[in-house]
Amino acid sequence: MSLVNVLLGSFFRLGLIDYEKALRLQNKLVQARMEGMIEDVLLLLQHPPVITIGKSGKIENIFASSTFLQEKGIKIIYTDRGGDVTFHGPGQLIIYPIFNLRRLGLSVPDYVWKLEEVIIRLLSHLGIKGERIAKWRGVWVKGEKIASLGIHLSRWISKHGVALNVHTNLDYFDLINPCGTGRRATSIAKILGREFSIEEVESLAIEFFKEVFNIELKAEPLYKLEPYFETNLVTSETT
């Protein structure tokens, strides 16, 4: 990648992080990005089992009862991303870009296309043909959804992002109508018949973000998030 006109940013590998704590982190980083205190940031992580409902979500797209979900320890969280209902859980790579779209020269459709393109190129590297479906956001493999997408913008600063099923337990998706599409979910592990580590797929995602967004992302230690994050989470859950 040529460094001519390449913008600079950083990335953090956060490990397994509670959804609500990760959202609070995003909100603080968005504010810092608006104020010019930080450059663009890419967060890579996983969530414990949780069902989230976006701004256009419908509760009827959750098939399981609240009692069942409570017994299984699965929260339902209403959130401010776009989209409908989705599931997050271990084995799923979550990517949250805190990017200034104006700095990157991107419209919202351009940004969404590039997020999908990162996943499509990553899958192609693994020998999987990922596709777009015109009326639905995300990335698909033979009609099954492998990556969900939902974003939120505040003064052109992005949060939320992409969830890619690496070796996720796909049984969880039977509890919902994923993104209201009526389509089944799939994963890299299911398609290829073997597991890839989250760390391996994270590394690929970072490289393809650099390529697609023409941005140079530098690895940063977690302590640099301490002004924006609960210190005990950075020092314990992500070690």
* Amino acid (one-letter) located at 152: H
Question: Quick check: 233 pLDDT over 70?
Answer: no
User: Does residue 165 belong to any structural domain of this protein?
Assistant: yes
What pTM was estimated for this model as a whole?
A: 0.91
Domain count, the chain: 1
- CATH of residue 46: 3.30.930.10
Question: Quick check: 235 pLDDT over 60?
Answer: no
Active site residue 179: yes
The pLDDT, as a whole number, for residue 159 is 97
Q: What is the pLDDT of residues 40-49, one digit of tens each?
A: 999 999 999 9
Average pLDDT over residues 8-17: 95
User: Does residue 227 belong to any structural domain of this protein?
Assistant: no
127 — alpha (psi -120 to 50), left (phi > 0) or beta? left
User: Does residue 233 belong to any structural domain of this protein?
Assistant: no
The pLDDT, as a whole number, for residue 42 is 98
Question: Quick check: 237 pLDDT over 90?
Answer: no
User: Does residue 238 belong to any structural domain of this protein?
Assistant: no
The pLDDT, as a whole number, for residue 4 is 45
User: Does residue 231 belong to any structural domain of this protein?
Assistant: no
Q: Which long-range contacts (CB under 8 A, 24 or more apart) does 220-226 make?
A: 220/10, 220/11, 220/12, 222/12, 222/14, 224/10, 224/12, 225/12, 225/25
Q: What is the pLDDT of residues 13-58, one digit of tens each?
A: 999 999 999 999 999 999 999 999 999 999 999 999 999 998 877 7
Residues 179, 185, 212, 225: which is the catalytic one? 179
Q: What is the pLDDT of residues 77-119, one digit of tens each?
A: 888 888 788 899 999 999 999 999 999 999 999 999 999 999 9
The gap from C-alpha 73 to its chain's centroid, in whole angstroms, comes to 21
Q: Containing domain of residue 204, as a range?
A: 7-221
User: Does residue 63 belong to any structural domain of this protein?
Assistant: yes
Question: Quick check: 238 pLDDT over 90?
Answer: no
Averaged pLDDT of the chain: 90
User: Does residue 117 belong to any structural domain of this protein?
Assistant: yes
Q: What is the pLDDT of residues 202-226, one digit of tens each?
A: 999 999 999 999 999 999 999 999 9
User: Does residue 236 belong to any structural domain of this protein?
Assistant: no
Environment class of 95 (CB within 10 Å of its CB; exposed 0-12, middle 13-18, buried 19+) = buried
